[in-house]
Amino acid sequence: MKTYMTPEEHARLHRRRARQTLGLLIAVLALVGIVTVVRAGVKGVATLFDDTQQKAEYEDRLEGLVLFDPLPFNGIENIDDLTLREAAVWGCVYSIQETQGSFDNYNTDPDTEQLLLPSVDVDAYLAKLVGPSFKLTHKSFEMDDMTVEFDETTQCYKIPVTGSVGTFRATVTRLFKKDGLLHVTVGYIPTQSSDDSILNTSSDTPTKYMDYLFSRQSGSWYLTGLTDSETKPESADSAASAAEPAPLAESEVNDAILATAGDSAAASVAASAVADEAAPVEEAAESTPAESTEASSESPAA
């Protein structure tokens, strides 16, 4: 028996199916939205705790100082003047090399071919490190094996062509706040240079650590001090002891002695057996020549 639907029932069925389809679509969209929100939240939390970019920024800012291994100080006004000049000039040179890859945009002295580094670039580099209020009086200065000349006419430093500058390079290992100051823990990695590059890495292992202290001024962090770090490098003695095998326990020593003794006894027994087996063979070998002699002596008589 066939069942017929009235137009009203048919319309209600279509509306029901439309509502079901719409509900399913809304549920799918809601699920996609929830997944998107969760993924964004996880990514946001990971980004919040990831300070890799900050570490890289502080490495760039501190590279000039770390090059020359400054002594601890409290207050930027108490830093050694020569160290600050070396850090400002060579840190600026290093920053240009890192960011631009070359010095093609800079002029050179026509006579000596030395790089001409404008003092305004040095001021900009120093302002990022110690703050815009600090002013450096530009002048020539002597280093251990060279002179960095400042030209008053061009307001440029004449950078000597050299393949060896500085003692260490920086690697920032930790950022933390204490007593209102930002502590930047820096590992000092020794550098060697065998070519014309400013920095030539020979190792990635820091030989010491120092904490650079930054205070907050006008919404930014600027260097204000340097102190010894609680982080210490891994000592050579501990590394050597880790490479040495652990000593055997007394029971293990006794077992080894017994095993060696057992092996020696077994070897002795085996040697005796071989000797016993070899004895008849030697006797037979000794008797053979005699028998041959007798046979040869009897043969002519026959």
Rounded Cα gap, residues 198 and 194, in angstroms: 10
Question: What is the C-alpha to C-alpha distance for residues 22 and 16, in angstroms, rounded to an integer?
Answer: 10
**Residue pLDDT, tens place only, 116-169:** 999 999 999 999 999 998 889 999 999 888 899 999 999 999 998 775 677 898
Q: How confident is the model at residue 37 (pLDDT cuts 50, 70, 90)?
A: confident
The mean of the pLDDT values for the chain is: 77
In whole angstroms, what is the distance from residue 119 CA to residue 154 CA?
9
Q: Distance (Å, rounded) from C-alpha 88 to C-alpha 72?
A: 17
The pTM score is 0.60
Q: Which residues of 103-130 are buried (b: 16+ CB within 10 A; e: fewer)?
A: eeebeeeeeeebbbbebebbbebbebbb
What is the C-alpha radius of gyration for the chain, rounded to an integer number of angstroms? 42
Please say if the pLDDT value at position 296 is more than 70.
Answer: no
pLDDT digits (tens, 9 = 90+) for 244-253: 455 555 555 4
Instruction: Tell me which of 205 and 213 has the higher pLDDT.
Output: 213
Write the DSSP assignment of 106-151 as a string of letters.
Answer: S-B-TTT--EEEEHHHHHHHHHHHH-TT-------EE-SS-EEEEE
Contact 80, 65 (CB under 8 A): no
* 3-state secondary structure (DSSP) of residue 183: strand
167 near 199, Cβ under 8 Å? no
What pLDDT, in 10s, does the model give residues 58-78? 999 999 999 999 999 999 989
